[in-house]
Structure 1
């Protein structure tokens, strides 16, 4: 029997194979060209040697995606079928690389992009939840970008309907770095709170470049990682351009107790939108699906639903303009009258008065618009960059290079020495550093002109983060290092 990696791409009528795109646990994804209409598509093909349960799961994925794939932040599914050699396949929208996971290997996103991406995906997650679907595998690798650079959620392969699970295998296949604590300790209840956690963990990764409980220098063993997820507090973000409010939002969304998290993905989106307002950024839309029956006299908003959410396929009713129809007798009287000079003068005076009145109204409209604009600017939430240290002069990040080659060594005397190199040749700036203590954002930054620092060893792990500080006061992103200490 052929292994999944040796199986050739199937021949599918109406499609031409172009190249391989990747492989998963029970399927492979290929790039095909669709003949009519002509376009590139991604085709997910089930492996030839998988068992019947995987085939059933593949069919379930197709059906679940079909329910929600019209959402602008969910990968579109175009069709499904079975190839000539008996392998089921899905035809999906092709999103060119890189996906989010690849991007984060190069470093974190800026704050505005991270917030915008998270809010759009939150709209997709909320829509899936309203359809009764819990994704259960939200992570950077499953967030793709369309050709228009819009993020979309993909891979509903282990998604299930919400509620208690009757099968142990339902909770397999999860990705440990992004899984909530309740899944790691064996909970068999599937709930939207799990997706809220995973989306927040993915947002954390967008801001740091790594999963929340991934610690440089610490063990990458999945059991150690799972233990930290279940027991350790959320580590600080370590970015001076991120407001404390954003860390608080993520800490709530990733609470160990699902009951203490935001009650929905939409609530998380609204919290992130508030951070956008605090930073003076444009508000990103969270698109939500609304049943079409709301167009025909049904309530515009569901029970408990946020009326500020964008709804797909729903338009505000427009009241028809009032039309005053003249009576027949009035039209006959008007037709019977012959215009005379006095009538022309009266109409001339009326036209003049109407013109003056129209001009006055136009002036008032312009003045009102100016006043409203000024009031809007005055009432707009003010950014809190002044409370951030450092980097308040350049809140969304600067092009300051980060220190290089940060590493630490235990001295055996209760101290750890961390050293690093200048960010570039001829560097004339200094550095900011602080201990990176899990769960604390209150450790103050200290300044140094040297490229080394000695700190007291902490039990278990001693970590530090260092920033380059340019002469104009702008800072780099943080670099971080940890040393295992007894």
Structure 2
């Protein structure tokens, strides 16, 4: 299976790169540390090869939508958006866990927890609908979890306004959670199709699989599309899921849009009824009830459209890191310049003060000469120091590996790096530079994944480790 390495993380003013969090078709997500205020953040960066006017507008639309809607407690918070020095748009977002997208396949999540998650995410979707926005990609992997265990909806990358939704268009599809009318290109998304996706998502969290996935059977895209178009989802298969909840989800995933709950709020009320039947406290609905609370979203024409791309100022402070040897030399040269200016300003012209004596002039230029020699010796010493530290870089020792459902995680011990050193990880011969001492690669059954790791210092790469291979 063809895989791609994550793109090179951009240098962002005010942020320090840490490691890769994930990769998608249009963007990579990296972990950065924000310098002020100090906190860890997730930064979504567009891939350079896909950036064009259309994709850039889509990305900026996502930034605006999420910023305007992220005041909702169950929508991922966006802190800022901009364009990096190399021209790639990026979003700085709240750091959350994506573990729910894998957890539901590994373990049985309590019904009460699923209902709480479902109602909170449905409240977020209802809020977006009231602002005239469709999400169009509701699925388990787009539900993240905050540090305090609260679910939040992410990835409004293919969102659209309700006024645009009745015109079919090419959109990214997550087939197992897409309504039949969307898969048939009858619509690019409606409130009814979002109800279907919410029902399918809640079903998945309960069943441990998508609604039309057959355990042990063939589940290709064609198989799933055929089942979604013609079949009904099978029983969830859990004794603790009530018949009422099963009926609610079956109705939400009806083939006919008019047979589903009329809107997301109606689905929320049915989920709350299931909570009452279960004997747990009702999860409150989190929907803004006043018009001013939704007024942060602009008029319909501007909700998913951006008029231009912010200009990048290459001379902005913080765009380029200064190299320490150059900075040291610059400081010494500044001292020489100050010394010369002081010698001149001591006897300004045209003030009637007598010119300095020959002895004072000789002394001044002697001091200048001493300073110049200091610069030269300093530069020589710096060069010697760099050579002495780059000729003998530490070498990474044994690499360990672990596997999950669809990834391989490589890790290794720190061989004795300096603070500014980095690791060059080569996956199947392709290099990627990072700071973290672990590396994650996507994998599929039958893949053989091999890596080597080397320390990089001041542009010099040390000897690579022994190659570590995993047969997945």
Query: If the length of structure 1 is used for normalisation, what is the TM-score?
Result: 0.58
Determine the structure 2 residue equivalent to 1:20.
20
Give the 3 Å change call, closer, same or farther, for CA 144–293 of structure 1 in structure 2.
closer
Question: What pairs up with 1:94-173 in 2 under 5 angstroms?
Answer: 94-98=95-99, 100-165=100-165, 170-173=169-172
Aligned to 2:228: 229
Distance in 2 (CA, whole Å) between partners of 1:224 and 1:96 is 31
Change in CA separation of 1:293 and 1:79 when aligned onto 2, cut-off 3 Å:
closer
Deviation at 1:221, TM superposition (A): 1.3
1:292–1:187: structure 2 CA closer, same or farther, 3 Å change rule?
closer
Count of paired positions:
291
1:55 corresponds in structure 2 to: 56
Residues 108, 205 of structure 1: 8 Å contact kept? no
Name the CA shift for 1:215/1:6 in 2 (closer, same or farther; >3 Å).
closer
CA gap 1:250/1:58 in 2 versus in 1, 3 angstroms: same
Q: Which residue in the other structure is 1:10 paired with?
A: 10
Alpha-carbon separation, structure 2, partners of 1:125 and 1:232: 26
Question: Contact conserved, 2:41 with 2:92, CA < 8 A, in 1?
Answer: yes
Q: Are the structure 2 counterparts of residues 48 and 267 from structure 1 closer, same or farther at C-alpha, using a change threshold of 3 Å?
A: same
Provide the C-alpha distance between the structure 1 equivalents of 2:76 and 2:291, rounded to a whole number of angstroms: 22
CA–CA distance in 1 between the matches of 2:219 and 2:76? 31
Retained in 1: the 8 A contact 2:167–2:188? no
Shift of 1:261: 0.8
* Structure 2 counterpart of 1:199: 198
SS, match of residue 288 in structure 1:
coil
The alpha-carbon distance between structure 1 residues 209 and 17, as it changes in their structure 2 partners (threshold 3 A), is same
Report Cα offsets for 1:417-458 as digits up to 9, x if no partner.
Answer: xxxxxxxxxxxxxxxxxxxxxxxxxxxxxxxxxxxxxxxxxx
Q: In structure 2, what is the Cα distance between the partners aligned to 1:6 and 1:226?
A: 31
Output aligned runs, 1:39-438, within 5 Å.
39-52=39-52, 53-98=54-99, 100-165=100-165, 170-291=169-290, 293=292
Instruction: Check whether the contact 2:6–2:28 (CA below 8 A) recurs between aligned residues.
Output: no
Inter-CA distance 35–280: structure 2 relative to 1 (3 Å threshold): same
* Residues 38-63 of structure 1: CA deviation (Å, up to 9, x unaligned): 11111000001104222221111111
Secondary structure of the residue aligned to 1:49 is: helix
User: Aligned-pair distance for 1:154?
Assistant: 0.3
**Whole-angstrom distance in 1 between the partners of 2:170 and 2:245:** 30
Equivalent-residue separation in structure 2 for 1:62 and 1:235 (angstroms): 38
Equivalence for 1:383: none
SS state of the match for residue 289, structure 1?
coil
The change in CA–CA distance for 1:247 and 1:6 in structure 2 (over 3 A counts) is closer
3-state SS of 2:48 partner: coil
- Match of residue 36 from structure 1: 36
Quote how far apart the aligned CAs of 1:82 are.
Answer: 0.5
C-alpha distance in 2 between matches for 1:73 and 1:101? 16
RMSD: 1.9
Distance in 1, Cα, partners of 2:4 & 2:238: 42
Q: Which moved more, 1:236-245 or 1:147-156?
A: 236-245
Q: Which TM-score applies when normalising by structure 2?
A: 0.59
User: Deviation of residue 238 (structure 1)?
Assistant: 1.1
Q: How many Å apart are 1:172 and its aligned residue?
A: 2.4
